[in-house]
Amino acid sequence: MATSASSKLNKAIKQQYMDLPQGDKVQAMYIWIDGTGEGLRCKTRTLDCEPKTIEDLPEWNFDGSSTYQSEGSNSDMYLIPAAMFRDPFRKDPNKLVLCEVLKYNRKPAETNLRQTCKQVMSMVENNHPWFGMEQEYTLLGTDGHPFGWPSNGFPGPQGPYYCGVGADKAYGRDIVESHYRACLYAGVQICGTNAEVMPAQWEFQVGPCEGINMGDHLWVARFILHRVCEDFGVVVSFDPKPISGNWNGAGCHTNFSTKEMRDDGGLKVIEESIERLSKRHRYHIRAYDPKGGLDNARRLTGHHETSNIDEFSAGVANRGASIRIPRSVGQEKKGYFEDRRPSANCDPYSVTEAMVRTCLLKEEGEEPTDYSK
């Protein structure tokens, strides 16, 4: 099993230093999305006192030419604190700070999709849009081989692994448990976890979160998972089809509701939203992975509990449909629906914004409306 060299360092020795008092100073780890739209970067600064609100955190900068975000001749980018969490690695009073990235001219970087998402969410505040996102991921060795798989060949076929228990069924539970507890400590709205259909594949769920909070909490949960895996010497992949062949891919199913949908008779509103989504399938496919649908094309084949990327479908309790209405929602005539199209490596800001644009702002056509004019 290929693990990183850093995982072999003596963690007991490290703990000796982590137990040292830090005086009145606070370490704030600034986190941002890099130019790939998938990768996360971080760096730490010392603050003189514990920040109580986001306004207490200073702006910062970084070298964008080293993160695929600018040219070397004009490389300074701005980090604008957007959301703050407790730091589960350094513990209180230290903080994790999720940041937006601005270019030299103070305009959003190309992969800063938070600004337009926040604007769109502010337009529908009275609808109280709730989201829950189911983040699937795969654990890999540093050589890219799935964690726990035989070095030559494959494990037994899918069947016993989903929600499985036992050393021959659950690969990497220590990481899952560590991540779950770290998210709870940080204040991330993590609401569950389970082993997935492919061995070494897992899922955690975040939500319900209202509006812009969905993207903030999912990105920080992803960062914490990367950081936990670093300690264990393994790698987490959000690739939507990490292993080709007869293995399940990885998605980020997104559950969505509004106050109207959750109230009595809300099923009618759900059905109206699904009708609008059916007329805007290609726009959503483009918004649901960082490569405009190319990543998802490997996953959305119509097999392995997915819909076909070229066709829109909906149904009650149908895991092979684009949109699934849970059976309980069909019975109670209110609740939420699940969009099963977003890929595991989607940007949650892009996904939630697209859903609000189509379902609540009632946009039509291939392009999003520009509300800044």
Q: Give the CATH number, domain containing residue 80.
A: 3.10.20.70
By residue range, what is the domain housing residue 127? 121-360
Residue 9 within any structural domain of the chain: no
Distance CA 229, CA 7 (A): 9
Residue 18 within any structural domain of the chain: no
Q: Which residue matches tokens 């010497």? A: 233
Return the pLDDT at 74: 76
Tell me if 60 sits within 8 A of 30, measured CB to CB: yes
232 and 162 part of one domain: yes
84 and 220 part of one domain: no
Q: Which residue matches tokens 């959503």? A: 284
Tell me if 216 sits within 8 A of 134, measured CB to CB: no
pLDDT in tens, the chain (373 residues): 788 998 889 999 999 999 999 999 999 999 999 999 999 999 999 999 999 999 999 999 999 999 999 886 778 899 999 999 999 999 999 999 999 999 999 999 999 999 999 999 999 999 999 999 999 999 999 999 999 999 888 898 899 999 999 999 999 999 999 999 999 999 999 999 999 999 999 999 999 999 999 999 999 999 999 999 999 999 999 999 999 888 899 999 999 999 999 999 999 999 999 999 999 999 999 999 999 999 999 999 888 778 889 999 998 877 788 999 999 999 999 999 999 999 999 999 999 999 999 999 999 999 999 998 7
Coil, helix or strand at residue 102: strand
pTM across the whole model: 0.97
Return the pLDDT at 332: 96
Tell me if 146 sits within 8 A of 243, measured CB to CB: yes
Residue 264 within any structural domain of the chain: yes
209 and 268 part of one domain: yes
Residue 195 within any structural domain of the chain: yes
Tell me if 236 sits within 8 A of 140, measured CB to CB: yes
CB-based contacts of 55, cutoff 8 Å, min separation 6: none
71 and 141 part of one domain: no
Crossing angle of the two packed helices 267-278 and 348-359, in degrees rounded to 10:
110
Distance CA 217, CA 187 (A): 9
Tell me if 199 sits within 8 A of 207, measured CB to CB: no
195 and 278 part of one domain: yes
Edge to edge, the sheet with strand 40-47 lists 40-47, 26-33, 95-102, 76-86, 60-63
CB-based contacts of 288, cutoff 8 Å, min separation 6: 296, 341, 342, 343, 346, 350, 351, 354
Distance CA 205, CA 194 (A): 9
Domain limit, last residue, from 79, 110, 141: 110
Residue 209's DSSP bridge partners are: 131
Return the pLDDT at 373: 73
178 and 31 part of one domain: no
Strands (E) located in the chain: 26-33, 40-47, 60-63, 76-86, 95-102, 130-140, 190-195, 201-210, 235-237, 252-257, 314-316, 323-325, 337-339
139 and 71 part of one domain: no
143 and 239 part of one domain: yes
317 and 207 part of one domain: yes
Residue 79 within any structural domain of the chain: yes
Tally Cβ neighbours within 10 Å of residue 150: 9
282 and 220 part of one domain: yes
Q: In this structure, what token pair is assigned to residue 350?
A: 């892009």
Residue 13 within any structural domain of the chain: no
Domain limit, last residue, from 90, 110, 130: 110
Return the pLDDT at 287: 97
Residue 12 within any structural domain of the chain: no
Return the pLDDT at 35: 96
In the chain, the number of structural domains is 2
37 and 137 part of one domain: no
Give CA 163 to chain center in angstroms: 21
Tell me if 72 sits within 8 A of 12, measured CB to CB: no
**Burial annotation 288-309 (CB, 10 A radius, 16+ → b, else e):** bbbeebebbbbbbeeebebbeb
Tally Cβ neighbours within 10 Å of residue 51: 17
Q: Count H helices, E strands: the chain?
A: 10, 13
